[in-house]
Structure 1
Amino acid sequence: MAPRPNVVLVVMDTARACETVHERYDYLSELNRLAQTGTEYTKAVASAPWTLPSHASLFTGTYPSKHGAHAGHKHLDEGIPTLAKAFQDGGYETVAVSNNTWISEEFGFARGFDTLYKTWQYVQADIDLGKIARTKQGTEMIHALATRLAEGNPVINAANAIYGQFFRKRTDDGANRTNKWIREWLANRNDDEPFFCFVNYLEPHLEYRPPKSIAERFLPNDVTYGEAMSVPQDAWGYIAGTVDLTDRQLGILRALYRAELAYLDRCLGELRRHLEAAGEFDDTVFVVTGDHGENIGDHGLMDHQYSLHETLLHVPLVVHGPRFETGQVDDLVQLTDLAPTLLDAADIDAPELRDASQGRSFHPEAEIPPREHAIAEYMAPQPSMDALRERVGTSTDNIERFDRSLRAIRTDDEKLIRGSDGTQEFYELRNDPEEATNLATERSERVDTLETMLDEWLDTFERADTSGEVSMTDATEARLEDLGYLQ
């Protein structure tokens, strides 16, 4: 019997497909190398447009309305089986390295991991004084630190506060520290059991601060790095209309975004080399995907909220390793499908997870028909309208129109986005891949058909009964605010 493969699941946070799918993007040499020797899925669709619900779907194989982790309830609750727990119960060592605060024990994502390493902490601990270090100064900071140091280990708390404020962002958003930790873990681990390793890399996320040497490869010749760094990156001000960006500035931001991807691609290659040096890569199913995409002026938006357009839902997906042959697959797949697919790759039964999952395995030996449609959900606005108004200091129709939930259903060629406010958007993706022309009125019969399909899908499962805000530490809230998430 052949040994079971290792599984490495890498999320390039905020990586959209229009920048990362197909070999024409040759600046992503490492991702293309994986794609050329593995399987690239050209129509991979996220189930949600932002980190928390999308990762919950990735970990459970279920959609937001079933797993219940979304803007209205920011926690993946106990009771629903997870991929990490299935691998742990199946005899795998399970580790996670997270660069995004949402993916932590505080929001329910540690379940099933033997180790969860958080790169925003210098020393791993439950208490983080980052908010004090970021918001207090002088004697006020000293007093606040003295008060909080009594909670937990004072030396660790102080070290984490100093690291978070002054050192963490000097090089990148954690990719370098991630790879160093994985290299050391590979060197010291017990080789007798296979491993499941999850990695969230944060680099493509706002704010875009790529290394100067890489950024200069992507910026227009007449734009200096200094000018690029001075372009406003206030997503919420842009959405509300209080911050204006010219076409030139939006072009600069897109260049910085590509530079972030290029830097992360280099880190991806380094991760592969660590696995190769440890003698593990050939026996590893290596998955690279995005949890969602990004709007950079697209559809009048920035960041990855208030929308279910393809800029946010269409993500890269490459699977390399045993049984995944070289080539491209143009069938629809979803991130919800990864859970049963990886269970098949590792030959793990996990009946509870398989029964709860709404995904379908696309493992080469699964012999399951391709999807006829993909689903995505945006259960509540994030940030809320109150938080957005507080941030931008105004209340306009430009803000209030986002106070809604959204669901989308797409086939190979068509897509319907339905809002709780009664809005409908219908796009013919084959002829209009940028979703520029809403044909809901002209194609009303087809809209009705897709609405019926969406309603029938909703009737196939019991939706989560979750509501209300989830408590979090001040430090976590501050870090999410640093990332642009207003609570």
Structure 2
Amino acid sequence: MNIVFISLDTLRASRLGCYGYNKPTSPYMDQIAAHGVLFERAYAADIPTEVAHTGIFTGKVGLRTGVVAHGSPLTHLPKKEPWLPSLLQNYGFTTGAVDNLYQLKEWFARGYRYYINSVGKKRGIDGETVNKLAFPWIHEHKQDNFFLFLHYWDPHTPYQPPQSYVPQFYKQGQNPYDPANQSMQAAYNHAAYPFFKHHHYDLLGPVTDAAYMNALYDAEVRYLDDRLRELDERLIEEGLYDDTLLILFGDHGESLTEHDIYWDHCGLYETTVHVPMLMRWPRRIPSGRRVTGLVQQVDMMPTVLEAAGITLPPSLDGRSLWPSIRGEADGTRDFIYLSECAWQASRGIVTKDYKFIRTLDSGPFVRPRRELYDLRSDPKETLNVAESCTLMADDLEYRLDEWVAQILNGQVDPMTTQIEAGLPFRNRINEILRQYGLTWSQWMENPCRERFDDAAIAASHEGSSSI
């Protein structure tokens, strides 16, 4: 058998047709879903990228491995931790990856006989680059039993799809740079603006229409969809389609202005933690199966190992998805615990009907300490009912505390340690502000674009370097 394991970085479930979106972002992914199984309520328990992928490849949540923060020098994954590619390689699979996570942390290259760095010059890391690197590898190893990890980054900021993809999502005649349109002002005046100015906005020009940014995201998803179609065509051409377990998943989603988050992936809201998860394996996975119960990313590792006939290592948090795939169960659990520690530090718990979030450090955001949402009546999480439904909020908070205490078992909480050292993305903003003689407190008192630009001009007159 062959396993093609695909991370669709920053892909939000609700932006795909097979998850109910009404724009043509994903015709091919919709077809994959129709020929396999779709998990309607799959969650990224740990966000963002670094912690999500660590959980995926260990089958363990971040609190158990200690990897809870993204971009932090404090994190390390011991080599004793079971690692999916290593287990498959030890069992005789030829393992390969087209990926660049090794540049974040060394452990992402573990277990691969062939690790191909995907950083390219055209649009950074794009699907065309991934395919050009992957297709020769597939041809060379088509006689092997192989595991191939492919990491596509197209929906990640900055959104720079080929221009031909944009018109179907942004009406002709609209002007994304119309000075009369003020819909971008909230983003430009956000406390996180210094970071995004350099990494995202400057690359797109003086956009004034927030709808244009959302259209660019949709265009990136459609571009990605076409690259996945090309990948599938290659599998067919090489005679690998029927014997390949294909798994597609989002590592996290993306907030597109919701909850004061502008084209980024923080916050334990559905926009970011509800991710797509699709699996196809002809004759082994029934076509058109939709699992409605709760599942999470760490469930993929035991699922892959079971498919390969490999004994599961002990102490995994993940549970096999095969009972749900076969229709013997509907999901793997009743509660999923959530965590983030990059822009802000918070934990949460999601059930069939409710979402509870507790914020420990809000970073550049304004957040209440406790949030509770009734997902049945308020799927977009617009009404915080923590104060009016205190019994439910208290019960879910108690469950959350019990889970944290059980996992830690007396050990130091790695999230507390990270908060004391400073949240990684807040530290990044601090580095930028220092170039202009600004402190975090000064910036937070008046976080507007004009003030930052004025500070940049003043600093340049003093000989400071620009961003």
The interval holding the TM-score normalised by the smaller chain is 0.7 to 0.9
What residue ranges of structure 2 are gaps of 5+ in the alignment? 362-367, 422-427, 433-467
Residue 237 (structure 2) pairs with residue 277 (structure 1) = yes
Distance 1:461 1:219 in 2: 47
Distance 2:178 2:86 in 1: 47
Displacement after TM superposition at 1:347 (Å): 1.5
* Equivalent residue letter for 2:95: T
Give the aligned length. Answer: 391
Residue 19 (structure 2) pairs with residue 22 (structure 1) = yes
Distance 2:303 2:59 in 1: 10
**Identity in percent:** 30
Question: Measured at CA, do residues 265 and 437 of structure 1 come closer, stay the same or move farther in structure 2, by a change above 3 Å?
Answer: same
* Equivalent residue letter for 2:97: A
Note the 1:312-323 alignment, pairs <5 A: 312-322=272-282, 323=284
Distance 2:154 2:234 in 1: 20
Displacement after TM superposition at 1:180 (Å): 1.6
Residue 278 (structure 2) pairs with residue 325 (structure 1) = no
Distance 1:104 1:95 in 2: 16
Structure 1 equivalent of residue 50 of structure 2: 52
Structure 2 equivalent of residue 82 of structure 1: 83
Displacement after TM superposition at 1:329 (Å): 1.1
Residue 260 (structure 2) pairs with residue 300 (structure 1) = yes
Structure 1 equivalent of residue 407 of structure 2: 461
1:169 to 122, 145, 148: 122
Structure 2 equivalent of residue 120 of structure 1: 119
Structure 1 equivalent of residue 456 of structure 2: none
Note the 1:209-228 alignment, pairs <5 A: 209-223=160-174
Distance 2:249 2:237 in 1: 23
Note the 1:78-477 alignment, pairs <5 A: 78-98=79-99, 101-104=100-103, 106-120=105-119, 168-170=121-123, 173-189=125-141, 191=143, 193-223=144-174, 238-240=190-192, 249-322=209-282, 323-326=284-287, 327-349=289-311, 351-352=312-313, 355-363=314-322, 364=325, 370=331, 371-378=333-340, 380-382=341-343, 402=344, 405-420=345-360, 423-462=369-408
* Equivalent residue letter for 2:370: Q
Distance 2:327 2:83 in 1: 20
Residue 9 (structure 2) pairs with residue 13 (structure 1) = yes
Question: Measured at CA, do residues 248 and 430 of structure 1 come closer, stay the same or move farther in structure 2, by a change above 3 Å?
Answer: farther
Residue 40 (structure 2) pairs with residue 42 (structure 1) = yes
* Equivalent residue letter for 1:174: D
Question: Measured at CA, do residues 8 and 454 of structure 1 come closer, stay the same or move farther in structure 2, by a change above 3 Å?
Answer: same
Distance 1:449 1:234 in 2: 35
Conservation of the 8 A alpha-carbon contact between 1:288 and 1:318: yes
Conservation of the 8 A alpha-carbon contact between 2:10 and 2:265: no
Distance 1:187 1:104 in 2: 27
Distance 1:233 1:6 in 2: 49
Mean Cα deviation higher: 49-58 or 447-456: 447-456
Distance 2:40 2:59 in 1: 20
Structure 2 equivalent of residue 129 of structure 1: none
Question: Measured at CA, do residues 236 and 76 of structure 1 come closer, stay the same or move farther in structure 2, by a change above 3 Å?
Answer: farther
Deviations 1:274-308 (A, max 9, x none): 11111111111101110001112111112435411
**When the two structures are superposed, what TM-score results if normalisation uses the length of structure 1?**
0.73
Structure 1 equivalent of residue 459 of structure 2: none
Question: Measured at CA, do residues 76 and 234 of structure 1 come closer, stay the same or move farther in structure 2, by a change above 3 Å?
Answer: farther
Deviations 1:83-123 (A, max 9, x none): 1111111111111111xx434474311111111111116xx
* Equivalent residue letter for 2:342: P
RMSD: 3.1
Conservation of the 8 A alpha-carbon contact between 1:216 and 1:224: no
Question: Measured at CA, do residues 368 and 113 of structure 1 come closer, stay the same or move farther in structure 2, by a change above 3 Å?
Answer: farther
Distance 1:307 1:236 in 2: 19
Displacement after TM superposition at 1:459 (Å): 3.2
Conservation of the 8 A alpha-carbon contact between 2:26 and 2:221: yes
Distance 1:6 1:234 in 2: 47
Distance 2:336 2:90 in 1: 30
Deviations 1:387-416 (A, max 9, x none): xxxxxxxxxxxxxxx4xx211100111010
Displacement after TM superposition at 1:256 (Å): 0.4
What residue ranges of structure 1 are gaps of 5+ in the alignment? 122-167, 383-401, 471-476, 482-487
**When the two structures are superposed, what TM-score results if normalisation uses the length of structure 2?**
0.76
* Equivalent residue letter for 1:109: F
Question: Measured at CA, do residues 307 and 200 of structure 1 come closer, stay the same or move farther in structure 2, by a change above 3 Å?
Answer: same
* Equivalent residue letter for 2:391: E
Conservation of the 8 A alpha-carbon contact between 1:95 and 1:198: yes
